[in-house]
Amino acid sequence: MNLRLFYILLLSVVIVSMTACDDDDDNIDIIDTVVSRATLGEEIITLEVPMESVSFQGGKTLTLEVGLGSGAFHAAGDPTDEIYTITDRGPSIGCDESEALIGKANFCMDNGAVDKDGKIFPVANFTPTIYKLNIDTGGLIGAKVGYEVTQVIEIKDRDDNKISGLPNPLQVTNTENAYDNKGDKKALDPNGIDPEAIIRLSNGSFWIADEYAPSLVHVAANGRIMERVVPSGMENDLAEANYRVMPTLPAILKKRRLDRGIEAIAISPDEQFLYFIMAGPLANPDQAAYENARYVRLFKLSLNDGDLQSVVGEYVYMLDTPETFLLDDTTKQSDVKISEMVALDTDKLIILEQVHRHTKLYRVSALDSGTNLFGTQWDNESSSPSLETVQNLADHDIAPLGKKLVFDSRKEISDLDFKIEGIAILDDEYLAFINDNDFGIDGTKTRVTVAKIVKQLSE
């Protein structure tokens, strides 16, 4: 018998049998689970959420699409075809790229001087947003391929005002100026965040990773920020934020390099621990240290009913060298970054390393394979040498986390999209990749690639 026909008949029998029972609610739940599991299959789905066209004073007009793929999450108890994704701060263009992308050189002017280091925010009032998606991948029973946006959650302050994605007025670390589509300089915003990863708890709230501070942001189910957790010493810079700011993270994290804040978080299945990892090495003590280092800091935090209790661990994750990313032509160590993470179990993590085109997944099987550095001299920015400039970790009795390569896009999915920033494990077989399309500024589409690779992640 044809396998597809077999599954259609089998599902029909199951549904008829269930509907003959008394408990309709339980039957519906079971049927939903059977249907969603049966319909998963390897597929590529293009996501299109249009935005308004934006014209630049003296330059081009760009047609934008919402960039849904800065992070992704699937909870084990959710239907297998359901994922949450999140945008970042909104469409942005480097001021030094203004001529190439919007057709006008020297677009950003700060008090009469050209600002090459700033960012253009074409939609300056953009609100970072969570999306809930149902994806249809065809699978064994021939369902349609596509998706549906089932919930849109805009992130808000304590008074339910929508926040922006504009940079913060930071003094203890560096920030960048923001310009709108007219070239006008925008005020720095203490409420603004730049989301890069998301997890959802069973109580409906979210934890979001933010690059700006860097910080962790606890968001209620309706999108209201309950708390933003920042490096110690940064709370005064964000005193005007209209939500609670807590200086719980180690102060050393203010040494993050701009655009290399917290880009990946994960939650243990029992929701007792939250994990996060920096996107790259700290600029500690300076930019040169960031450019040459391979050591990235990974943290473990304890939770109580979803609320942050304390930091309990800090470990060294060692990046691959740039030459091993064969789909990218680079020898710059600073091009290698962490873009996503997911927890298979307590202290068992999958970490995504990439440059741009080439994506790798590594498994860290146990955090006790590495040295816990939390609260040691390596968290003191006055220590010399700094962790980032140490030549040989063993000379300082530091063991990096053990890691094992479990997926390589070059060998297994050679046409996987560039700039993968979200992964979600859908069930015991299928994983979803999603790319960040940078709001389609260069015409790139957001796509979800569903691949049957989950079993190899634990082997």
Confidence tier at 40 by pLDDT (50, 70, 90): confident
Q: Is the per-residue pLDDT at 138 higher than 80?
A: no
Q: Is the per-residue pLDDT at 378 higher than 60?
A: yes
* Higher pLDDT pick, 398 / 36: 398
- The domain segmentation of the chain, as residue ranges, is 1-39, 40-458
Stretch among 35-39, 135-139, 162-166, 197-201 having the lowest mean pLDDT: 35-39
Query: Which pLDDT value is given to residue 23?
Result: 58
Confidence tier at 141 by pLDDT (50, 70, 90): low
Q: What is the pTM of this model?
A: 0.92
Query: Which pLDDT value is given to residue 12?
Result: 47
Query: Which pLDDT value is given to residue 22?
Result: 54
Confidence tier at 7 by pLDDT (50, 70, 90): very low
Name residue 216's beta-bridge partners. Answer: 209, 229
* Higher pLDDT pick, 6 / 312: 312
* Higher pLDDT pick, 1 / 263: 263
State the burial class of residue 392 (Cβ atoms within 10 Å of its Cβ: 0-12, 13-18, 19+).
Answer: exposed
Percent of the chain's residues with pLDDT above 90:
88
Query: Which pLDDT value is given to residue 20?
Result: 52
Q: Is the per-residue pLDDT at 19 higher than 90?
A: no
Tokens of 314: 């800090």
Give the C-alpha separation, 192 to 161, whole Å.
12
DSSP letter for each residue of 147-161: EEEEEEEE-B-TTSP
pLDDT in tens, 334-349: 999 999 999 999 999 9
Q: Is the per-residue pLDDT at 1 higher than 50?
A: no
Tokens of 98: 């203004």
Mean pLDDT of the chain: 92
Query: Which pLDDT value is given to residue 37?
Result: 53
Confidence tier at 52 by pLDDT (50, 70, 90): confident
Q: Taking residues 375-391, report their average pLDDT.
A: 96
Q: Is the per-residue pLDDT at 433 higher than 80?
A: yes
Interacting residues of 444 by C-beta distance below 8 A, sequence separation 6+: 418, 435, 437, 438
pLDDT in tens, 195-222: 999 999 999 999 999 999 999 999 999 9
Confidence tier at 399 by pLDDT (50, 70, 90): very high
Q: Taking residues 257-274, report their average pLDDT.
A: 97
Give the C-alpha separation, 299 to 353, whole Å.
17
Phi, psi of 341 (to 5 degrees): -155, 150
Q: Is the per-residue pLDDT at 13 higher than 50?
A: no
Give the C-alpha separation, 406 to 370, whole Å.
19
Buried residues in 328-363 as b, exposed as e (16+ CB within 10 A): beeeebbbbbbbbbbbbeebbbbbbbbbebbbbbbb
Query: Which pLDDT value is given to residue 235?
Result: 98
Interacting residues of 411 by C-beta distance below 8 A, sequence separation 6+: none
